[in-house]
Amino acid sequence: MQENYDPAAVEAAAQRHWQEHDTFRASEDPARPKYYCLSMFPYPSGRLHMGHVRNYTIGDVISRFMRMQGCNVLQPMGWDAFGLPAENAAIANGVPPAKWTHDNIATMKRQLKTLGFGLDWSRELATCLPSYYRWNQWLFLRMLERGIAYKRTGTVNWDPVDQTVLANEQVIDGRGWRTGAPVEKRNIPMYYLGITAYAEELLAALDRLDGWPERVRTMQANWIGRSEGVNIAFPYRLGEERRLLRVFTTRADTLLGVSFVAIAAEHPLAAHAAASNRALAEFVEECKRGSIMEADLATMEKKGMPTGLTVGHPLTGAQLPVWVGNYVLMAYGEGALMGVPGHDERDWAFAKKYGLPILPVIDVGGRPYSTDAWQPWYADHGRCVRSGRYDGLDYAAATHRIAADLEAQGLGKLQVQWRLRDWGISRQRYWGCPIPIIHCERCGDVPVPDEQLPVLLPEDLVPDGSGNPLAKSAAFVNCTCPGCGRPARRETDTMDTFVDSSWYFLRYASADNERAMVDARVGYWLPVDQYVGGIEHAILHLLYARFWTRVMRDVGLVTLDEPFAKLLTQGMVRNSIFLRRPAAGRLVYYNPADVEVLTDASGSPLGARLKSDGGPVESGGIGTMSKSRNNGVDPQAIIDRFGADTARLFMMFAAPPDLSLDWSDEAAEGMFRFLKRLWKEVYVHVTSGEPVRLDPPALAAAAKELRRLAHQTLAKVTDDFGRRRTFNTAIAAVMELLNAVHGFDEEGPQARAVVHEALEIAVLTLSPVTPHLAHALWRELGHERAVIDEPWPRPDPAALVQDAIELVVQVNGKLRGRVTVPAAASDGEVRAAALADPQVRRFVGGQSVRKVIVVAGKLVNVVV
RNA sequence: GCGAAAGUGGCGGAAUUGGUAGACGCGCUGGAUUUAGGAUCCAGUGGGGCAACCCGUGAGGGUUCGAGUCCCUCCUUUCGCACCA
């Protein structure tokens, strides 16, 4: 055996073994329980980053653990290969997105292989390949047939200089990223998928997703946002015609407190009023400036302008002014709201600003009300006052009575309203899946016939940042109408990349099928048993995938509702931020690798300086690794320095998987030291002779104690890996075991046999995390079979038995002593032993013992 | 603004069901060894105190024999907000 740990050689040898034995190719085997472990596929951005390493290490540890547990494990990999960065790279470097993407895939695939992940590469897919995206188009056509997909107008960010639709990401402080021109909103026709038709089911099924983190379920439920309320119509006259302005409200009980109605700038009535009102037209135009991001809309200054129109109160007939308000969302409810300044904080602020009446109509348990200042309880539920026949009714009663009265007049009804909006999938971009529609002057929008699929995306275009290159490509645009055979124009919008990622997990099960989107093998592998990915996908991607799976179910392609049985949302990877503030200009960020942190004698930081010039740099705290803050660490550098196993071990040890993880060069080096120690420990053991067969009853006390620790560690690691998914504590337990082996100085054959067993347990339990090192050490410990093919061991119950246990004794809840009692001692004996302890007697002194609480196996609390 | 989390030594974190706060690792201090080392090994390391002990889990209240853990109020940080993926 080599005396020193050489990660490069060890890792190459293990990877060669897996390659030669095709270890990770999965096939359907009804005889074994299947286990589908899936990590979110990467966007091929160039190189692997630490977030990928973390994600795929978690998935790989679970996969290898489940495999050793006897499962038929599938762990596939693919590429989320369409998207904006490829177009940005094309604009910057003039390289076609296809080439850039394929080069990146090659690089990242090579990197994934050096990390030793147990992936079945035979199922690899990339969403930018026609063999994949043709099925996006095919299912889109099925959705169109069923009315799930439909066309209507939607709002986009518009750069008036580049004449281009901008992604939210391309809008910086309300301006286009390349032109700096103020962004405008623009309404254009788009295709939508009717996810709201599935809202009820998507919400209800969350309750049964008990393998998902509670926080993700809550976030999805809030996103879907079911609210029960009343749709209320305010009648008005337009010329001779009687019309209704509809609003949705969850507070119908405050209807008698309405003092105005506010509509969105995009509301048809606003356009009508603006036609004859120059100031209003300007205000509506002003509202159309700025981005479409909800966070921007919600934080901007609340502004409004009267339209000059009035509507009638549906119960009293009183005339109420109609205002245009920039805080009214066209996308929610009816794009209009009833203003109740007395009981809604935003309406309050609006009324104060524009001098509209504030009418309190709810009594909240008699708490004071003054129109001077808003108090949080004004929005609470209570009983109606100053509301005529509704006075005294509580929230539910008032809502139902008012809804019934409105319904009798045809002016309202109870309604369930969703916050969730239908999914707009049209993107005015090149590098995506073409939407299979042909526009014909005579036949209108004609779906591309199935036999003409896929609509191929040309791969040789180079975008320049203005407009969509597809729209400028005559070869792509010009086509023949499938209906009438005349010249027609192809749709040039492509699909949202979330479409691609909404079903890739199904395709892995039948990746080689060229005739169908999915086949019967989906029934074997799905659902995904364990899905692993970033918390940033907690809402959108996961919700779209749940929706898409249900659509495929309703089309008859699959039989499952929920694609992901268990979900693990891993936290972000962060690093220190260092910067300087030049007298003029922007902040300059320095990579932590180029900075030296100065500490005092206790290790507390005093400051930091740049290694290159020795000058001070400012600490900017700690934040997610990003290019803009220059605090990224290239995983390749760590692999080159310490090997993949160290990188993997650090990722699993430094934090529990669902919390954010802070990078530390020193801590990574500590992981490397641990692996060197483990190697050394095995080396010392195997070079000092052959082990004899272990004879547990013959063990001396210290050896028995070491054996107990080894089996206790095995039990803990099994639980931590399998149930708790707290890999950090599992690794800590193995470290403790190794420390105990190191400190164990008994000699003799049986002592050696116990050490041998402890080292085997350490190697087996670490093997999912550091598979290369474990592969080598398992051989050195005398095993023919590769460690990946070993079954996961079970702790020996006999080894776990303890004769005596130590209990903690508290007096009035404070730790005052410890007593050792036989493991089988009764509560009475434990109590007596605790009271007899000299330290306990000292603290009890002359006081009378009021109560003694005995917690079996743990502690005794003496209350005096 | 809305929604969701998190806050424990110098740092990452542990404490699994309300029961020993600080496991494990980093850093730091001292020592050994070494030509030397940023290598390796040994010991120590929450704060205060000579000690007995006292204090201590973002802040402030509460429940309990007992609270890092449960409840209320507040503060800070992170993530998401529908065209980044």
What are the tens digits of pLDDT across the range A775-796? 999 999 999 999 999 999 999 9
3-state secondary structure of A149: strand
Taking 90 as the threshold, does the pLDDT of residue A593 lie above it? no
Taking 80 as the threshold, does the pLDDT of residue A601 lie above it? no
Residues 429-448 of A with CB under 7 A from strand B: 429
Nucleotide nearest to A169 (CA to C1'): B84
CA distance A269 to A262: 11
Q: What is the pLDDT of residue A776?
A: 98
In terms of pLDDT, which residue wins out, A174 or A55?
Answer: A55
Spell out a b/e string for A716-728, using b for 16 or more CB atoms within 10 Å of the CB, else e: bbbebbeeebbbb
Find out whether A716 and A732 touch, Cβ atoms under 8 Å. no
Taking 90 as the threshold, does the pLDDT of residue A316 lie above it? yes
Residues 803-832 of A with CB under 7 A from strand B: 806, 808, 810, 812-815
Q: How far does the CA of A68 sit from the C1' of B72, in Å?
A: 48
CA distance A534 to A42: 11
Q: What is the pLDDT of residues A485-511, one digit of tens each?
A: 999 999 999 999 999 999 999 999 999
CA distance A104 to A46: 5
CA distance A52 to A632: 13
Find out whether A184 and A289 touch, Cβ atoms under 8 Å. yes
Helices (H) and strands (E) in chain A, counts: 28, 37
Cα distances from A165 to residues A183, A467, A612, A804, A851, in angstroms, run: 10, 7, 43, 73, 74
Report if CB A606 to strand B is under 7 Å: no
Beta-carbon count within 10 A of A280 CB: 21
**Predicted confidence band of residue A302 (pLDDT cuts 50, 70, 90):** confident
Q: Where are the alpha helices (DSSP H) in A746-826?
A: 749-766, 771-780, 797-800
Taking 80 as the threshold, does the pLDDT of residue A602 lie above it? no
Report if CB A154 to strand B is under 7 Å: yes
Spell out a b/e string for A170-184, using b for 16 or more CB atoms within 10 Å of the CB, else e: bbeebbbbbbeebbb
Report if CB A278 to strand B is under 7 Å: no
ipTM of the complex: 0.95
Nucleotide nearest to A807 (CA to C1'): B20
Residues 205-244 of A with CB under 7 A from strand B: 214-215, 218-219, 222-223, 225
Give the pairing of strands A478-480 and A487-490.
Answer: antiparallel
**Predicted confidence band of residue A238 (pLDDT cuts 50, 70, 90):** confident
Report if CB A598 to strand B is under 7 Å: no
Report if CB A132 to strand B is under 7 Å: no
Cα distances from A447 to residues A41, A137, A192, A435, in angstroms, run: 30, 10, 15, 9
Cα distances from A551 to residues A197, A517, A527, in angstroms, run: 11, 13, 15
3-state secondary structure of A175: strand
Q: What tokens appear for A837 in the block?
A: 């302890």
Task: Please give the single-letter amino acid code of residue A74.
Answer: L
Q: How far does the CA of A813 sit from the C1' of B67, in Å?
A: 11
Kindly state the helix (H) or strand (E) to which residue A681 belongs, with its residue range: helix A665-686
Find out whether A847 and A840 touch, Cβ atoms under 8 Å. no
Find out whether A811 and A785 touch, Cβ atoms under 8 Å. no
Mean pLDDT, to the nearest integer, of A336-348? 92
**A438: Cα within 13 Å, side-chain hemisphere:** 23
Residues 302-321 of A with CB under 7 A from strand B: none
Give residue A211's Cα distance to chain centre.
15
Report if CB A677 to strand B is under 7 Å: yes
User: Which residues are within 8 A (CB) of A588 and not within 5 positions of it... i.e. 6 or more apart?
Assistant: A579, A580, A581, A582
Report if CB A845 to strand B is under 7 Å: no
Nucleotide nearest to A43 (CA to C1'): B85
Report if CB A370 to strand B is under 7 Å: no
Concatenate the DSSP letters of all residues of A38-64 into one string.
EEPPPP--SS--HHHHHHHHHHHHHHH
User: Which residues are within 8 A (CB) of A416 and not within 5 positions of it... i.e. 6 or more apart?
Assistant: A226, A227, A228
Q: What tokens appear for A154 in the block?
A: 């939607």
**Predicted confidence band of residue A43 (pLDDT cuts 50, 70, 90):** very high
Find out whether A261 and A334 touch, Cβ atoms under 8 Å. no
Report if CB A108 to strand B is under 7 Å: no
Q: What is the pLDDT of residue A99?
A: 95
Q: What is the pLDDT of residue A619?
A: 83
**Predicted confidence band of residue A407 (pLDDT cuts 50, 70, 90):** very high
Lowest mean pLDDT segment, chosen from A440-444, A644-648, A827-831 = A827-831
Lowest mean pLDDT segment, chosen from A49-53, A149-153, A345-349, A386-390 = A345-349
Taking 80 as the threshold, does the pLDDT of residue A603 lie above it? no
Q: What is the pLDDT of residue A455?
A: 98
Q: What tokens appear for A429 in the block?
A: 């971009």
**Predicted confidence band of residue A837 (pLDDT cuts 50, 70, 90):** confident
Cα distances from A124 to residues A137, A618, A712, in angstroms, run: 20, 45, 40
Residue A831: name the closest of A821, A842, A839, A823 by CA: A821
Lowest mean pLDDT segment, chosen from A233-247, A308-322, A359-373, A390-404 = A359-373
Cα distances from A451 to residues A134, A349, A447, A455, A482, in angstroms, run: 11, 59, 11, 10, 11
Q: What is the pLDDT of residue A845?
A: 79
Q: What is the pLDDT of residue A847?
A: 82
Residues 20-59 of A with CB under 7 A from strand B: 43
Residues 320-349 of A with CB under 7 A from strand B: 331
Report if CB A417 to strand B is under 7 Å: no
Mean pLDDT, to the nearest integer, of A565-573? 94
Find out whether A762 and A734 touch, Cβ atoms under 8 Å. yes
Q: How far does the CA of A629 sit from the C1' of B73, in Å?
A: 36
* CA-derived radius of gyration, chain A: 34
Spell out a b/e string for A381-412, using b for 16 or more CB atoms within 10 Å of the CB, else e: ebbbeebeebeebebeebbebbbebbeeeebb
Report if CB A740 to strand B is under 7 Å: no
In terms of pLDDT, which residue wins out, A671 or A614?
Answer: A671
CA distance A833 to A831: 5
Residue A837: name the closest of A856, A813, A816, A861 by CA: A816
Mean pLDDT, to the nearest integer, of A24-47? 96
Q: How far does the CA of A577 sit from the C1' of B76, in Å?
A: 18
Q: How far does the CA of A83 sit from the C1' of B85, in Å?
A: 8
CA distance A514 to A669: 48
Spell out a b/e string for A738-777, using b for 16 or more CB atoms within 10 Å of the CB, else e: bebbeebeeeeebbbbbbbbbbbbbbbbbbbbbbbbbbbb
Report if CB A299 to strand B is under 7 Å: yes
Q: What is the pLDDT of residue A804?
A: 85
Tokens 């760590």 sit on residue: A638
Give burial (CB, 10 Å; 0-12/13-18/19+) of A276. Answer: exposed
User: Which residues are within 8 A (CB) of A839 and not within 5 positions of it... i.e. 6 or more apart?
Assistant: A809, A816, A817
Q: What is the pLDDT of residue A221?
A: 94
**A689: Cα within 13 Å, side-chain hemisphere:** 11
Find out whether A384 and A392 touch, Cβ atoms under 8 Å. yes
Find out whether A639 and A115 touch, Cβ atoms under 8 Å. yes
Taking 80 as the threshold, does the pLDDT of residue A559 lie above it? yes
Q: What is the pLDDT of residues A747-772, one digit of tens each?
A: 899 999 999 999 999 999 999 999 99
CA distance A505 to A525: 10
Give the pairing of strands A595-599 and A605-610.
Answer: antiparallel
Report if CB A496 to strand B is under 7 Å: yes
Report if CB A732 to strand B is under 7 Å: yes
Which strand B bases fall within 7 angstroms of a protein CB? 1-6, 10-16, 19-21, 23-29, 39-42, 47, 53-54, 65-67, 77-85
Report if CB A666 to strand B is under 7 Å: yes
Q: What is the pLDDT of residue A796?
A: 96
User: Which residues are within 8 A (CB) of A789 and not within 5 positions of it... i.e. 6 or more apart?
Assistant: none
Report if CB A776 to strand B is under 7 Å: no
Compute φ and ψ for A338, nearest 5 degrees.
-90, 130
Q: How far does the CA of A755 sit from the C1' of B43, in Å?
A: 25
Taking 90 as the threshold, does the pLDDT of residue A305 lie above it? yes
Q: How far does the CA of A623 sit from the C1' of B36, in Å?
A: 39
DSSP A458: P
Taking 90 as the threshold, does the pLDDT of residue A375 lie above it? no
Nucleotide nearest to A427 (CA to C1'): B83
**Predicted confidence band of residue A585 (pLDDT cuts 50, 70, 90):** confident
State what percent of residues in chain A have pLDDT above 70. 100
CA distance A364 to A424: 42
What average pLDDT does the structure give for chain A?
A: 93
